[in-house]
Amino acid sequence: MANWDDIRLFLELAREGSLSAAARRLKVDHSTVARRIATLERDLGLRLFDRLSRGYALTEEGDTLRTSAERMEQEAIALQRQASGRPALQGTVRINTTPMFASLFLTSRLVEFRRLHPDIRIALSGDQRLVNLNRREADIAIRLAKPSESGLIARRMGSVGFGLYASRRYLSTTRPRDYGFIGYDEALGHIAQQQWLEAQLRGRPIAFQCSDMTTMYHAACADMGVAVLPHFIGTTDPQLRRVAAETASADRDIWLMVHPDLRRAPRIRAVMDYLVALFERERNLLASGAAARPRRRALPS
């Protein structure tokens, strides 16, 4: 029977797609990962990965083994949960946040949470407006403004930095003095980023208006013009490039809010703890766009 621990490394490498990234997460040297994968392949008698120049990609056979490995991980996690004396958490936790955070930041990162707590269902609502936590319209909210509602627990979780971004194509076909901008529509003129954007215009036009930042992002990708986007989006997407601005944009604080009655509920605690750790880990990426972990490379999945 092969070494079970090699399967753990296999899973991590399958997820990360590169020796170095997997090694970082596993806190071992990349050569260790390479060697252990090699012995696993020898034990099982088949090639699990294609060694591409840019990383390791699962072979077809490797991909079929992945699901078994993932089920194995589920049991390992269950075992450790039992060992720590915690009962299995279950229930639904509703998270309310901005459309931008919901679709471009949280969704992909909550995959790991689902693995750790398969019995907690996450309901993620991306909504422009903050729902009323006192009326239990959501359990947890992540917002860019300090709450005005009284009686909530609010915790600051770092900040998001913004900058001007446009697609490579747009920038290579347009002179700076002809730049058109992408902004919020009139109803949202009070938003900080919008006011900052207007200061950058210097007579140039707003070419496209919309009501939320994910649309701005897609508009920018579609060569529509220059948009104010969070650094974590602008630096992560290889299509986009930053445009120099006259003044630095103001950062906005990220706030996590929860109703005090719910704060101690175990499932809520589990989500909060995870979110706090997540925002801490991604602190630099959010603030300045400097990737804590390297950006995802496009590997044939």
Partner DNA sequence: CCATATCTGTGAATTTATGCGCAGGTTCTG
Partner DNA sequence: CAGAACCTGCGCATAAATTCACAGATATGG
Rounded to 5°, the CA angle 216-217-222 comes to 95
Q: Which residue has the tokens 């919008």?
A: 194
* Nearest Cα residue to 246 out of 291, 283, 197: 197
Give Cα 280 distance to the centre of its chain.
12
**Binding site partner of 143, from a copy of itself, DNA, none, Cβ cut-off 5-8 A by kind:** none
Stretch that binds a copy of itself, among 68-76, 105-113, 257-265, 266-274 (CB under 8 A): 68-76
Q: Closest separation between CB of residue 257 and a copy of itself, Å?
A: 31
Contact 160, 234 (CB under 8 A): no
**Binding site partner of 128, from DNA, a copy of itself, none, Cβ cut-off 5-8 A by kind:** none
Interface pattern 16-55 for DNA (x via CB under 7 A)? --xxxx-----xxxxxx-xxx--x-----------x-xxx
Of 35, 42, 51, 71, which lies in the binding site for a copy of itself, with binding defined by CB under 8 A?
A: 71
**Binding site partner of 205, from a copy of itself, DNA, none, Cβ cut-off 5-8 A by kind:** none
**For residues 162 and 230, what is the distance between their CA atoms, to the nearest angstrom?**
4
**Binding site partner of 82, from a copy of itself, DNA, none, Cβ cut-off 5-8 A by kind:** a copy of itself
Residues from 230 through 259 that contact DNA (CB under 7 A): 238, 241
Contact between 287 and DNA by CB under 7 A: the answer reads: no
Shorter beta-carbon distance to a copy of itself: residue 10 or 208: 10
Token pair recorded at residue 141: 């909210």
Shorter beta-carbon distance to a copy of itself: residue 8 or 109: 8
Contact between 3 and a copy of itself by CB under 8 A: the answer reads: yes
Amino acid at 236: T
Q: Which residue has the tokens 């099982």?
A: 44
**For residues 182 and 225, what is the distance between their CA atoms, to the nearest angstrom?**
6
**Binding site partner of 7, from a copy of itself, DNA, none, Cβ cut-off 5-8 A by kind:** a copy of itself
Quick count: other Cβ atoms within 10 Å of Cβ 18?
Answer: 20
The residues facing 141 across adjacent strands are: 96, 257
Own/partner pairs for 178-181, CB < 8 Å, 24+ apart? 178/204, 179/204, 179/225, 179/226, 179/243, 180/204, 180/205, 180/206, 180/207, 180/208, 180/224, 180/225, 180/226, 181/205, 181/206, 181/207, 181/208, 181/225, 181/226, 181/227
Of 31, 51, 52, 78, which lies in the binding site for a copy of itself, with binding defined by CB under 8 A?
A: 78
- Furthest-apart CA pair in the chain: how many Å? 71
Contact between 151 and DNA by CB under 7 A: the answer reads: no
Stretch that binds a copy of itself, among 4-12, 15-23, 273-281, 285-293 (CB under 8 A): 4-12
Footprint of DNA (CB under 7 A): 18-21, 27-32, 34-36, 39, 51, 53-56, 238, 241, 291, 294
Footprint of a copy of itself (CB under 8 A): 1-8, 44-46, 61, 64-65, 68-69, 71-72, 75-76, 78-80, 82-84
